[in-house]
Amino acid sequence: MNRFNKNIVSYVDPLSVQAGDELKVMVSCHESGDFRACLVRLVSGDSRPHGTGFHEVPIGSTFAGDYPGREQFIHAGSYAVLPDLPSLDSGTFCCRFYPTTPKRPAQTLVSASGLVIGIEDACLVLRMHGVVVRSGLRLQASRWHDVIVAFGADEALLSVQRHGEGPAERGETVVDRATIGAGTVAAGDWLLAAVRAEDEIVAGLNGRIEAPRVLDQSLSIEAAAQLLVEPAPQHPGLLGSWDFSRELSSDRLVDTSGYARHGHTLQTPTRAVKGARWNGATQNWRDDPGQYGAVHFHEDDLTDAGWSVDIRWQVPDDLPSGVYAIKLTLGDSEDYSPLFVRPAAGQLKQSIVFLAATATYLAYANQRLGSSRSVFGGREPRNANDAYLLAHDEVGDSLYEYHADRSGVHYSSRLRPILNLKPHNIPWSFTADTNITAWLEAIGEPFDVVTDEDLHREGVDLLRDYRVVITGTHPEYYSTSMLDGLGDWLDSGGRLMYMGGNGFYWRIAYDPDNPAIIEVRRAEDGTRAWISDPGEYYHSFTGEYGGLWRRLGRPPNQLVGVGFAAQGFDGGTHYRVRPDALDDRVAFIFKGIETDFIGAHGTQGGGAAGEEVDRFDVALGSPVHALVLARSEDHKPGMLKTKEEFHVTQPQTADADVRADLTFFETPAGGAVFSTGSISFAGALSTNGYDNDIAVLMRNVLSRFDDPEPFVFPTFRAPSNP
């Protein structure tokens, strides 16, 4: 296969399946010809020469074979539909508008058959019956404007009033008119933030819209302006009056006119954002929804590629739980779309389950960190997936990118090609997690697989039949339901092996109507690529306050004994074994290990402690009876304390808090938790053919954790916690 050639790309729905489910595979080919499809069990996706080594196992399937290739396209951009409006010989449209990129070309505010209001050269332009009315007032980015269009048999007017911001600014209004001939606006749907071009809808607006109104008569400017300040306006000519502050956890746009012309949004524009009436008196949209009556549209919003299905496959009853992939080949190009097969209802389960961090996979979906368009600088593509991602903006962004108007990306979805949720990528997130499944395979340990989405939906019931849960290397993003489910399972005596770093960090929310979509609100603190605007820290899907679980009263230390301390990407280091390792409670862990240094090897350039590391801290909730078995040392200069760990900037010096702590503790119900405190840890498992200190230690832990004998909860001991 050509290292940088990728003429085929795909995604699957759903990502997690079980026996009897139908899996849909969507494929796009950029060259002609048939493509070949088959099923593989994906043991390891890490194809680097010094990594675990790529390993797939072909699996027979009913769908294997050749299929005709065709190219499918992605039309990004969010917009809204205001349905079933009648034809109009005269009428009025008004709304409030907050442009964020007024100088960008080819933007549409509203359109209907016979009427388009667009943005050209930072001015609003009305087009009707071949007549153009251009506003004499230039739009100002990040300011609210009242927009009024009134038209009749002889004249159309366009009024734009710019609001002032604070005491230093003064508002300004400009009214422009033009004579128009006879004609109507045809009956049908009106579109916000999009225009119909032949058989396609072209979305392309960056900005917020609030309070759109449509009337069947040409109003005066004063009368129309009054409709914009009334929360629920009443007027005999109203055909539609949409209040975006209602049902804002959904894609529904409620019409309060009495005609029930309820609209809907597409591609998930951002809701629960400040409107023109926000005055700072509330920070929570649920306290006063009327202050959050806006929808923020983006030209690059994408939560559903909308591709047609190429392959349908019913998951057979005899397919074991595990990590699989649909493998596609076209000429010298190939593509993989992973899927996670969980045990079927009533199926005999293993005692060990791997919890795939699919929420985190979505948070990083198509992340371009380190690319030319990222806040972290530029790089060249490293493989075919990389090259495709950097060449195809239309596949959408991760929760680490900015939109075209520099607002943060709040939503991510699995209903699109995700180029880094595939093997042969850098060892981060999904690819790094296959180092763990490869280790389990290498030691012959049977295990099941479930996902974050499953945990969010089912809670503790998903885990009840399992003795041991093994996390991935970076389970960073967690919903409340996920955290509750894992915590309840630990309370019942479960044994958790936390195999990573920077876990349980950000609160997220799932779309209640579409679990393929997640949301993040990045509040005041935390290491992040962008921050939510003031007043917009509460999730639109759930109304929950967003941000770090550490700031929300549930720091990861309470759950797994350690929490995020530092990050650095210039190589890992080793752990030094500590006196706590001599405690009889953990004698089983160090059986067969004779050295005081462990993990001085691995795939991350130096050792098992690296990339992002977690430390033990009683003040942050680490259990007082926990044992810190080993601690990293000699980190490279790039390993820097995470942002929430300091209050003021200061020169970089040696810092004892910059470390990874290998930690163990028992729970009152007879369970236990073992935490590695490092993303790089799993990369050290395969050294020397899985014959090394890290692999020995982890097999010791897993063997005892899978033993049904309860752990004994210790009596209180004074914490050492240096």
The three state secondary structure string of 272-310 is EECCCCCCCCCCCCCCCHHHHCEEEECCCCCCCCCCCCC
CA distance 671 to 691: 28
Q: What Rg value do the Cα atoms of the chain yield, rounded?
A: 28
Helix or strand run (H / E) with residue 481: helix 480-491
Q: Distance (Å, rounded) from C-alpha 56 to C-alpha 43?
A: 6
Contact 469, 497 (CB under 8 A): yes
346's CB contacts (< 8 A; 6+ apart) are none
pLDDT for the residue 720: 57
Cα 195 from Cα 133, distance rounded (Å): 18
3-state secondary structure 650-697: CCCCCCCCCCCEEEEEECCCCCEEEECCEHHHHHHCCHHHHCCHHHHH
pLDDT at 3: 59
Residue 131 near residue 69 (C-beta atoms within 8 A): no
Cβ neighbors of 493 (< 8 A, separation 6 or more) are 667, 669, 670, 671, 710
- Residue 154 has what pLDDT? 85
Task: State phi, psi for 6 to the nearest 5 degrees.
Answer: -145, 95
Q: Are the CB atoms for 312 and 23 separated by under 8 Å?
A: yes
pLDDT of residue 524: 83
Q: How far apart are the C-alpha atoms of 401 and 675, rounded to whole Å?
A: 30
How remote is the C-alpha of 134 from its chain's centroid? Answer: 40
Distance CA 562, CA 566 (A): 12
Q: Which residue has the tokens 């009337």?
A: 215
CA dihedral sign of residues 615, 619, 622, 626: positive
Residues in the chain where the model's pLDDT stays below 70: 1-3, 49-51, 370-379, 603-605, 716-722
Residue-wise DSSP of 45-96: ----TTSS--EEEEE--TT-EEEE----------EEEEEEEPPBSSEEEEEE
pLDDT score recorded for residue 47? 82
Fold of the domain spanning 79-297: Jelly Rolls (2.60.120)
Pairing type for strands 495-498 and 672-675 reads parallel
The per-residue pLDDT for 137 is 97
The distance between the two most distant Cα atoms of the chain, rounded to a whole number of Å, is: 93
| DSSP 8-state secondary structure symbol assigned to residue 218 | -
What secondary structure letter does DSSP report for 709? S
**What CA–CA distance (Å, rounded) separates 232 from 255?**
10
pLDDT at position 648, please? 83
Domain boundaries, the chain: 8-70+307-338, 79-297
Closest to 543 in 3D by CA, of 314, 289, 720? 289
CB 263 within 8 A of CB 81: yes
Residue 647 is predicted with a pLDDT of 82
Do 79-297 and 8-70+307-338 have the same topology in CATH? Answer: no
Least Cα distance to 702 among 361, 443, 395 occurs for: 443
**Number of Cβ atoms within 10 Å of the Cβ of 164:** 12
DSSP class of residue 229 equals H
* H or E element, residue 387: helix 384-391
Q: Alpha-carbon distance 505 to 359, whole Å?
A: 12
Instruction: Decide if 389 contacts 419 (C-beta within 8 A).
Output: yes
For 427, phi and psi rounded to 5 degrees? -75, 75
459: left (phi over 0), alpha (psi -120 to 50) or beta: left
Q: Are 473 and 435 in contact (CB under 8 A)?
A: yes
Cα 44 to chain centroid, rounded: 24
Nearest to 449 by CA among 440, 709, 64: 440
Structure tokens at 298: 């983006």
Number of other CB atoms surrounding residue 480 within 10 Å:
18
Q: In what order do the strands lie in the sheet with 22-29?
A: 8-13, 22-29, 311-314
Are the beta carbons of 278 and 535 closer than 8 angstroms?
Answer: yes
What architecture is domain 8-70+307-338?
Sandwich (2.60)
